[in-house]
Structure formats: C-alpha cells, structure tokens
Amino acid sequence: VSGTFSGPALPSLGIRRLGPADASVLELLARDDADFDLRGDGPARAPLSREDAEAHLSDPHVLHWVASADGAILGSLFCHVLPMRKQPATELLLYEIGVRSAWRRRGVGRLLVSAMVDWMKANGIVTAWVLADNPEAERFYAACGFGPGSGPAVYLELHR
C-alpha cells in the first residue's frame, strides 16, 4: 500500500510491514514513544533486547506496519492475530496506532489502517477490534470504518 497527498510539504508515503530484521525500528519507536502517543512529552520507553525484538517480529501473530517518508518513520500500527476457539478462527486486535505529532491529520493513520484491512482481506479475517482510549481516536476509528463493539466491555487490568 502506498499513497501520495496533495499538501505542499507532505512527501510521498510508503507503508511496509516490519520483519525480523527491523529491531532498530522498534528501538526508534520506543525512544520516540511520546511523539507517537497522545501525551507528547513522556519519557522514552525501554526497547526489547535485540534477541527479543527479532523473536517478536518473527512471530506470525504479530503484525506491525510503519508509514515512512524520505526514510523517516511517521506512523506505526501494531496488531495481534488472535486465534479463537470457534469460528471465525481468527480475529485481529489493533493494539496500538500512533502518528508523529507533527504529521497528524494528513492521512497517515488512515493509510496504516488500510494496510491492515488489505491484510485482513488477503487472509480471510473479517473482524478487527480496538480499545479506543481518547475521543479523537474514537473519531479517527469511526472515519476508518470502525463501529461500536457488540458488548458493554469494561477495561480491567491485573498486576502482580
């Protein structure tokens, strides 16, 4: 998937799926985590070790696309392929999407979601779901075709 936009300063974008040799991209995403996130000013995050990054990126249940322009990564979408215990046998959890703060509202996020949807079509997966954690993201997902989920889910965590 690739696309070109009409704004004067916007370079042409390419989308690619990360593979086992892309540990350095995970390092960059961890280092610049805040710029891809809503908060904008948080600390860098610790990256996976090289070995763990290679294992993660080799996992067929991990789908990770990045949008780049002129060699710079502007956005990232990371999802999990979830095996189910009944049909349909697989669905997608869109775990995380982030576009660099300076590059938002230029179609980068939409292009990343279309790469995911193309992958779903090619692999016979009919459902993707996401937990939106802010109202702007909700509007973005709606613009990309997401609708309300089927149940009144409550997000909970357990820490030990």
Ligand X SMILES: CC(C)(COP(=O)(O)OP(=O)(O)OC[C@H]1O[C@@H](n2cnc3c(N)ncnc32)[C@H](O)[C@@H]1OP(=O)(O)O)[C@@H](O)C(=O)NCCC(=O)NCCS
Where on the chain is the footprint of ligand X (CB under 6 A)?
Answer: 37-38, 97-99, 104-110, 132-134, 136-137, 139-140, 143
Whichever of 51 and 133 has its CB closer to ligand X, that residue is: 133
Rounded to 5 degrees, what are φ and ψ at 98? -150, 140
CA distance 65 to 113: 9
Nearest approach, Cβ of residue 127 and ligand X (Å)? 17
Nearest-angstrom CA–CA distance, 60 and 57: 8
Nearest CB to ligand X, comparing residues 60 and 148 = 148
| Residue that is written with structure tokens 């390419």 in the block | 14
CA distance 81 to 90: 7
Other CB atoms within a 10 A radius of the CB of residue 89 amount to 11
Minimum Å distance from CB 158 to ligand X? 21
Which residue number places its CB atom closest to ligand X? 109
Q: Which is nearer to ligand X, 90 or 114 (CB)?
A: 114
Smallest gap from Cβ 154 to ligand X, in A, equals 16
**What's the closest the beta carbon of residue 97 comes to ligand X, in angstroms?**
5
Phi, psi for residue 21 in degrees, rounded to 5: -85, 5
